[in-house]
Amino acid sequence: MAKYTLLPIALFVILSGFLEKEDDKKTTGNQKAFYESSDPIDIDSNLFKPEQGKIYFHFNTDLAPTDLKKLDFIWLENNPKEYFTAYLVNTTDSTFTADRQDGSLIMIQEAQNEKGEWLPIEYWVYSGCGNSYFDPLELEPGKYVLVPIKKYSGNFKTKIRLKFKKDDTLFYSDSFDGSIDKSQFEKETGKVNGILYHGDANYLGK
């Protein structure tokens, strides 16, 4: 990718660090989502039993992704115990392609409230920098990517799922058991900051 110079990349790293520290101060309500994925890896049936003819998430909620540095993750190294492991798996015969923003799949977590309604507990912040999208995911047949998933905890036990956006299409993962603080159902009403962005939080459509 020779056309991308060091200056924009350096500026991106500086801005990213500043904005992440600012977002870390938020402890209630919806949380900012970011889900960096590894490069594609050959499916290993010792890790999970593949389901055939599908593109899907497989969750291991008991396994913290402790090999983040080995896989060159740059955003989530600080405390891998705050995450569990998910695998985005392709067992179809076609390559699955999706945008990544600064290395992250574009997705958020949703949870069921007391009425069984699915509501966002995270929000997305789009980048205003074109360089953020130069590395899309190309997941070939027989491959998976590892995705550390933020693990929440609270006194409200519920079902949680991923809401994943590919182009103009939304995909939903199977659900998994978890717990949250009910304040996470409160949508972000203030302006949020991203790379070259200041505006409303995004919930990835309907």
Name the band, by pLDDT with cuts 50, 70 and 90, for residue 71. Answer: low
Question: What are the beta bridge partners of residue 156?
Answer: 180
Separation of alpha carbons 206 and 191, rounded Å: 20
The closest alpha carbon to 73, from 38, 48, 46, belongs to: 38
Q: Do residues 122 and 32 make contact, with C-beta atoms less than 8 angstroms apart?
A: yes
Q: Is 193 helix (H, G, I), strand (E, B) or coil?
A: strand
Q: Do residues 62 and 48 make contact, with C-beta atoms less than 8 angstroms apart?
A: no
Residues of the chain with pLDDT > 90, as a percent, come to: 71
Separation of alpha carbons 28 and 47, rounded Å: 35
Question: What are the beta bridge partners of residue 124?
Answer: 202
Task: State residue 63's pLDDT score.
Answer: 83
Measuring CA to CA, how many Å separate 114 from each of 101, 177, 178?
Answer: 33, 14, 14
The pTM score is: 0.84
CB burial string 45-59: b at 16+ within 10 A, e below: eebeebeeeebbbbb
Name the band, by pLDDT with cuts 50, 70 and 90, for residue 75. Answer: low
Separation of alpha carbons 27 and 18, rounded Å: 17
Q: Do residues 142 and 90 make contact, with C-beta atoms less than 8 angstroms apart?
A: yes
Name the band, by pLDDT with cuts 50, 70 and 90, for residue 81. Answer: confident
Name the band, by pLDDT with cuts 50, 70 and 90, for residue 21. Answer: very low
